[in-house]
Amino acid sequence: MSPMAIELIYRGTLAFVVVNAVMGYGGLLSWLERKQSALMQNRIGANRASILGIRAIGLIHMLSDGIKMLTKEDWRPPGADRLLHTIAPLLSIGFAVLVFAAIPFGDRIPIQGMSGEWLNLRVCDIDLGLLAVFAILGMGVYGVVLAGLSSNNNFGLIGALRAGAQMISYEIALGISIMGIVLIFGTLDLQGITRAQGGTILGFLPNWGIFLQPVGFLIFMTAIFAESKRVPFDLPECESEIIGYSVEYSGMKFGLFLFADFVESLIGAVLCSILFFGGWQIPWVTPPADPTWGWALLSTLAFGIKVLFFTWLFMTIRWTFPRFRYDQLMDLCWKIMLPIALANLVITAIIVALIRAHGGA
Amino acid sequence: MPARTVTVTRRPLTLIERLYVGELLRGILITSKIFWVNLWRHSLHRVGLGKGKPAMATILYPEVKRPLPDRYRTRHRLMKLEDGTERCVACMMCETVCPAYCIEIVAEERTDGYTEKRPRSFVIDLGKCIYCGNCVEVCPCDAIRMDTKILEVSAESRDSMVYRKEDLLNWEELPDGSVVDLSHRASLRKPDTEEAAAK
Ligand code: SF4
Ligand code: SF4
């Protein structure tokens, strides 16, 4: 086989695994959301769905949810734009899943007969991985805005407008908050950023973004939370008041929006762990120069644990804080986060320049 | 009495509190503490330990029922005389006072010597009843009570929400004072022979 074909097979397998892992994890998040919120509020959470009396701590509800959504009536309001109304949820979920093409979830593995000798554990080797991620993430707003716009419903429209304003505003803070990381590590390649976070600072702290850019991390986490439109920032949705952009959706189309939200919060968890918590790096362990399959698995595991922690943290945040008012939301973005992010960027740039000028790393 | 004005002085937020991050962190710590404690207790319960400390406030309803207070108003019953016949004297007080107009009584003469009147039919439409308890309060001879502790009054049709005299009389008191419903609404499906005869 030609090297090209071998690479294609491996990448295809990776893509298959990643898509399924993301979808499965997204589904699992619906279970986690129910159970975690229940535990946090002294409740028990959904536990009634069962197969032959086996309840599997509520996991069966994932299945029953799917069946419910697939068998519900798929309704389109009169006057709604047929094409846009149909593709809006697909855009939402599609872009959300597409982001994972550029996410490195492990170290590289040795592959015989490929054009390159190493296969990085990610679907697509993009040098500008970070840019690609944010570009695709930014496209996600289309799904939401089109959904609200095409529904022929004023509440949907209000939701879409809020979503548009919120996501575009927070994208700015989001973009600037990670510039510090990009300056320090000098690359936009997510695999490169992860690799650069090996080793230690001052001999005992892992060389992670969080220790180099604590302020950047806080702003990034807030902004990515706003991007995923979950509770403290769920103004586009506001289920209790306007229901928002998904008001005219039912059945699996609505399910896709819900799912896109879950996948987006997963993206948040993944980006937090890659940019600020060393991705697949295991703290205080130097990755071997010629990694084996075992090491690749180990690094993937480390990555998984970090992502799991962040999903837990995000769920906790989602079930702890009340929602912002819309003016507070905009104030937070433009008057607080953006200036801090800019100041953080300038200070980081000066320090990096000084260190480079004095022959540092 | 002159109006009293209470001035509440609010403590201004300190700088740390206004920075918000610390307070957010405090909130997360509180909720995640509850989460981990409950998770720990749930896991203990799984292996049969620490049952004394509940991990949740939920009452798993159909299997577990909350003990009802004694004065809780539940489904009606008609009280009985020693021989099992109704105590009601068909005075129509309950029918008159009922704000939902859901009691319907047809009176007739009573010839067995207890009283002068008795209800020939006594119907409560529980689909209309608002469980206000007025009928119980107003009854001059304690003939109707709402102490059966039966809450699950549900039916598949409006007609079967209509309880007749036979259903309301069809109960038995256990030695511990609790009331069991013997009718279980089985007789509801039968045609009302007395009513039918009257027509
Ligand atoms: S409880 Fe109130 S509404 Fe119900 S039958 Fe008695 S008086 Fe009427
Ligand atoms: S108030 Fe009492 S005695 Fe009078 S009709 Fe009603 S249940 Fe019978």
pLDDT for B13-36, tens place per residue? 888 877 788 888 899 999 999 999
The sign of the torsion formed by the CA atoms of B181, B183, B188, B191 equals negative
Q: Give me the mean pLDDT over the B133-138 stretch.
A: 94
The CATH class of the B77-198 domain is alpha beta
For the ranges A18-27, A107-116, B68-77, the lowest mean pLDDT is seen at A107-116
More confident residue, A239 or A300: A300
- Amino acid A250: pLDDT: 86
More confident residue, B122 or A127: B122
pLDDT for A161-202, tens place per residue? 888 888 888 889 988 988 888 888 888 888 888 888 887 877
Does A58 reside within a domain? Answer: no
Does A55 reside within a domain? Answer: no
Query: Residue B106: nearest ligand to its CA?
Result: 2
| pLDDT tier at A360, thresholds 50, 70, 90 | low
Closest residue by Cα to residue B146 from B80, B73, B86, B67: B73
**Distance from first CA to last CA of chain B, Å, rounded?**
65
> Is B155 near chain A, with CB under 8 Å?
no
Q: Which run of H or E residues covers position A151?
A: none
- d(CA B72, ligand 1 centre) in Å: 14
State the total domains in chain A: 1
Which of A104-108, B114-118, B192-196 is modeled with the greatest confidence? B114-118
For the ranges A160-169, A283-292, B159-168, the lowest mean pLDDT is seen at A283-292
Q: Give B31's contacts in chain A (Cβ within 8 Å).
A: 40, 316, 319-320
The response to whether residue B88 sits with its C-beta less than 6 Å from ligand 2 reads: yes
- Amino acid B120: pLDDT: 92
Residue A270 contacts by C-beta under 8 Å, 6 or more apart in sequence?
A100, A103, A307, A310
Point out which residues pair with A206 in neighbouring strands: A200
Strand order, beta sheet including B117-125 = B103-109, B117-125, B162-163
| pLDDT tier at B186, thresholds 50, 70, 90 | very low
Does A85 reside within a domain? Answer: yes
For the ranges A55-59, A219-223, B181-185, the lowest mean pLDDT is seen at B181-185
CB atoms within 10 A of CB A218: 19
- Amino acid B128: pLDDT: 93
Query: Is residue B114 over pLDDT 90?
Result: no
Q: Which run of H or E residues covers position A110?
A: strand A106-110
Instruction: Report the mean per-residue pLDDT for chain A.
Output: 86
- Amino acid B191: pLDDT: 41
- Domain with A266, as residue range(s), is 78-357
Does A317 reside within a domain? Answer: yes
Chain A residue at shortest CA distance from B30: A320
- Atom number in ligand 2 closest to CA B93: 1
For the ranges A331-340, B57-66, B67-76, the lowest mean pLDDT is seen at B57-66
Chain B residue at shortest CA distance from A43: B56
> Is B58 near chain A, with CB under 8 Å?
yes
**Does the predicted model carry a pTM greater than 0.90?**
no
> Is B21 near chain A, with CB under 8 Å?
yes
Q: Give me the mean pLDDT over the B135-150 stretch.
A: 90
Size of interface A-B (CB pairs under 8 A): 40
- d(CA B132, ligand 1 centre) in Å: 5
Does A9 reside within a domain? Answer: no
DSSP result, B135-151: HHHH-TT--EE--S---
Q: Give B46's contacts in chain A (Cβ within 8 Å).
A: none
Chain B residue at shortest CA distance from A319: B31
Query: Is residue B192 over pLDDT 50?
Result: no
CA distance A159 to A236: 4
| pLDDT tier at A10, thresholds 50, 70, 90 | confident
DSSP result, B93-105: HHHHH-TT--EEE
CA distance B178 to A294: 68
Query: Is residue A152 over pLDDT 70?
Result: yes
> Is B178 near chain A, with CB under 8 Å?
no
Which of A94-108, A131-145, A277-291, B87-101 is modeled with the greatest confidence? B87-101
Q: Give me the mean pLDDT over the A248-269 stretch.
A: 89
Q: Give me the mean pLDDT over the A75-85 stretch.
A: 85
Cβ A199 vs Cβ A207: under 8 Å: yes
* Residue ranges per structural domain of chain B: 12-58, 77-198
Which ipTM value was assigned to this complex? 0.82
CA distance A345 to B9: 41
> Is the Cβ pair A317, B21 closer than 8 Å?
no
* Atom 4 of ligand 2, residue of closest alpha carbon: B91
Query: Is residue B193 over pLDDT 70?
Result: no
- Amino acid A349: pLDDT: 92
Q: Give B24's contacts in chain A (Cβ within 8 Å).
A: 321
Q: Give me the mean pLDDT over the A129-153 stretch.
A: 87
| pLDDT tier at B197, thresholds 50, 70, 90 | very low
Alpha carbons within 13 A on the beta-carbon side of B33:
6
Does A17 reside within a domain? Answer: no
The sign of the torsion formed by the CA atoms of A234, A236, A242, A245 equals negative
> Is A111 near chain B, with CB under 8 Å?
no
CA distance B194 to B198: 6
